[in-house]
Structure 1
Amino acid sequence: MTDNRSPEDPSVLYLQATHMSSNVSSSTVDDIVKVRRSDNLIWKLFTDNYVHNRVIAYLNHMGFYGVLECGSQVYDNHLITALVERWRRETHTFHFTCGEATITLEDVSIIWGLPIDGEAVTGVDVSNKVEEWQHICLDMLGFLPASKYLKGGHLSMTALYDHCMSNLVTDDTSEVDVVKFTCCIALMIIGGIMLPDYQGGSARLIFLQLLRDIDTVKSYSWGSAVLAFLYRELCNASRIEKTTIAGPLYILQIWAWSRIKCVNPDPDLDGLTLGLPPVDPDAFIPISLYGARWKIEFSYTYSPTHSIRIIRDSLDRMNNNEFNWVVYQKNDIDVKTITDSYDNKI
């Protein structure tokens, strides 16, 4: 690499002319790629304890609760930008001075606990009329959204949030209504955290096809879909004209914190020593997910957060010992519990 970001040999990395790293100059050195996120209303529902345990049990049954268990964090746009600059569309890897690396299915499975085997997450993206989508929502979600909340097969997160707040689940709620409420939450998780797109603040209704039978939701390879979606968004964002990025970037941020020592928010913490309570097999949710280890308040005292220049320089200087190539120890009790549990469920 001539400047640690541009390739010496263009025969392999042949897309450099359209890659954002070719545009780093004195006038653009501080430019960052901003994360578009759609998950604020989801976290509001959970942080304010509006979601009943009956719903959480169904979410766990569907395989989505691990995403919520990892919690919400502030995105470091500067760190994300530095990673995008080193992402190559030709190889789907980050090119560091110490070698190539990428986030894998194992990372997705262990960090978020999503299944990585099973049926593909796919479907027919039909062009329904607004009235048709309204009736589908009434059938599966339990309410008929106003037409202003529907656009191009997307449903506003605000409509989902308002419906949930007006129809909170209690001990007396019928099982049918609990399932429909859970589908609302699941759609918000998919569209706001796992597979958020550039629409921002909305969820794609195509995913309702996969939520119709709540007992088969966990049979889909959601982890594969998340990884493929992340790769696609990284590829799009690495183009020279892009200034924003969408996708499941929180899982990428956890991956970076776990593996790259110079961007870790606290040098005294690493992915193997962050404390969690021991796994209790009799607990309501028995799985302590790896990603939940990062659900703590960071001081960022030692981290180069919010400084793209410092992060770039740190990655330029990074040697092989500063990248954690083997994060997950299979004999680690939490990781073993996660992998065994999900292997048995699929």
Structure 2
Amino acid sequence: MRRRDWRAMVILLEAVGLGPVSQMPSIILDHGLLTALAERWHSESQCFRLPTGEMTVTIEDVWRILRVPMMGTLIEYSADAGLIRAACSALFDVDDIPHDGMTIALHECISDPTLHRGPLYIMSLISGFLLTDKTGTSFPRGLLPLVHGIFSGERYCWGQCILAHLYWDLHLITYH
């Protein structure tokens, strides 16, 4: 991304409350630690049972670590094909993006990624850092209107969504 484009992206991310997240260094995961924590997760009480006692992740923890907005428009997954097509048109100048029903592959979004670095960067920030999945290379199709909203200056309520996503992933790990 050219320096001028990057400055505009930083200003946009600051305006919508995602500036601190965009400035965070990449994270190196300790898979052993993550496995140990997952093994100690109890879905019924939504806490980790550790030798020193029980611990849970709170909304305040999410805010202190990520500094994401706690107030704003609720984040919703849209199944409305019209909204998704409108977002595709606004972000990528196409009517629709190839998908497998639920997700789109980030590398298959558009023919020339250099023209659409901003939306792709935000999509990778969301799917690779805030609301991660196991692939790291796909993006939930129903969140395309969210990316369009970010480019329109919409401030979203990220903290609650991230915490709910974390709890859901821990629940899935426990039962699979």
Q: Which runs of 5+ in 2 are unaligned?
A: none
Q: Judge conservation of contact 1:140–1:183 (CA < 8 Å) in 2.
A: no
Does 2:146 align with 1:210?
yes
* Secondary structure of 2:9's aligned partner: helix
CA distance in 2, matches of 1:136, 1:153: 17
Q: Does the residue aligned with 2:48 lie in a helix, a strand or coil?
A: strand
Give, in angstroms, the shift of residue 49 of structure 1.
Answer: 7.5
Stretches of structure 1 that go unaligned for 5 or more consecutive residues are 1-44, 168-179, 243-346
Verify the 8 A CA contact 1:124 1:206 in the aligned structure 2. Answer: yes
Match of 1:139 in 2: 89
- In the other structure, the counterpart of 1:87 is 41
Alignment partners' CA distance in 2, 1:71 and 1:151: 31
Match in the other structure for 2:62? 108
3-state DSSP of counterpart to 2:21: helix
| 1:216-253 Cα deviation digits (max 9, x unpaired) | 532x21111001100110111122xx4xxxxxxxxxxx
* Matched residue, 1:236: 172
Q: 1:151 aligns with which of 81, 87, 100?
A: 100
C-alpha distance 72-49 of structure 1, shift in aligned 2 (>3 A): farther
Question: Which whole-Å deviations, capped at 9, do the CAs of 1:36-55 have from their partners, x for residues lacking one?
Answer: xxxxxxxxx7xx98961111
Q: Is the 8 A contact 2:12 2:153 kept in 1?
A: no
| Number of residue pairs aligned between Structure 1 and Structure 2 | 175
The residue number in structure 2 matching 1:268 is none
Change (3 A) 1:93 1:236: same
> Partner letter of residue 217 of structure 1?
E
- Whether the 8 Å CA contact 1:59–1:182 is kept in 2: the answer is no
- Tell me, what secondary structure is at the counterpart of 1:225? helix
Check whether the contact 2:99–2:105 (CA below 8 A) recurs between aligned residues.
yes
3-state secondary structure, aligned to 2:148: coil
Q: Shift of the alpha carbon at 1:208?
A: 2.4
Q: Aligned ranges for residues 37-186 of structure 1 at < 5 Å?
A: 52-126=6-80, 128=81, 135-144=85-94, 149-160=98-109, 163-164=112-113, 166-167=114-115, 181-186=117-122
For residues 90 and 97 of structure 1, the distance between their equivalents in structure 2, rounded to whole angstroms, comes to: 18
Cα distance in 1 between the residues matched to 2:87 and 2:112: 11
Q: Which has the higher contact order (CA 8 A, sep 6+)?
A: 2
* CA spacing shift, 1:156–1:136, aligned 2, 3 Å: farther
Q: Which runs of 4+ in 1 moved over 2 A?
A: 48-51, 117-120, 123-126, 135-138, 142-147, 159-164, 180-185, 196-200, 208-217
Percentage of identical aligned residues:
24
1 or 2, which has the higher helix percentage? 2
Letter matched to residue 154 of structure 1:
T
2: CA distance between counterparts of 1:74 and 1:145? 37
| SS, match of residue 107 in structure 2 | helix
What is the rounded CA distance, in whole Å, between the counterparts of 2:58 and 2:112 in structure 1? 36
CA gap of 1:183–1:200, structure 2 versus 1, over 3 A, is closer
Q: Distance in 2 between matches of 1:210 and 1:122?
A: 8
